[in-house]
């Protein structure tokens, strides 16, 4: 209906070794594209020459999107980003920035830890 064959039709035409242009609308060819844009389009230089629209076009009405609503709002580009990240605390050496899996003290034989 659109003038472009679907992928299934293209597969059948390809198996028959026929030209696919026979099954495609002539409006989707390169020549038709060139003919459509061969004329010279004069640009409008000044904004005042644009004219006023006949009627105001409004956006479509808002509808609630399906699914769970977002927990945080999307901030604008000019708003500062708040970063509240919890620091990791190592349970072996009590230092911040790493955990007990990546602690350097776990490989140190001189460090002795007491079990609770």
Phi-psi region of 69 (alpha: psi -120 to 50; beta: other; left: phi over 0): beta
Query: Across residues 47-73, what is the average pLDDT?
Result: 85
Asked if pLDDT for residue 114 goes beyond 70, the answer is no
Q: What is the pLDDT of residue 39?
A: 83
The predicted pLDDT at position 83 comes to 74
pLDDT at 116 over 60: no
Q: In this structure, what are the phi and psi dihedrals at residue 89, rounded to the nearest 5 degrees? A: -125, 125
Alpha carbon of residue 44 to chain centroid: 33
Residue partners of 20: CB distance under 8 A and separation at least 6: 5, 10, 13, 14
Half-sphere exposure of 16 (CA within 13 A, CB side): 11
pTM comes to 0.29
pLDDT for 61: 92
- Assign 115 a pLDDT band (cuts: 50, 70, 90): low
Give the tens place of pLDDT for each residue, 64-107. 889 988 888 888 888 887 777 788 888 888 888 888 888 887 76
pLDDT band, very low/low/confident/very high, at 37 (cuts 50, 70, 90): confident
């Amino acid at each position: 209906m659109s003038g472009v064959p679907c992928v299934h039709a293209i597969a059948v035409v390809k198996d028959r070794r026929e030209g696919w242009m026979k099954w495609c609308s002539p409006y989707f060819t390169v020549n038709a594209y060139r003919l459509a844009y061969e004329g010279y389009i004069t640009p409008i230089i000044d904004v005042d020459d644009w004219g006023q629209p006949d009627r105001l076009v409004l956006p479509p009405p808002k509808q609630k999107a399906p699914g769970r609503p977002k927990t945080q709002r999307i901030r604008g580009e000019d708003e500062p980003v708040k970063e509240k990240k919890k620091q990791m605390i190592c349970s072996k050496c009590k230092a911040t920035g790493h955990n007990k899996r990546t602690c350097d003290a776990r490989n140190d034989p001189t460090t002795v830890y007491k079990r609770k």
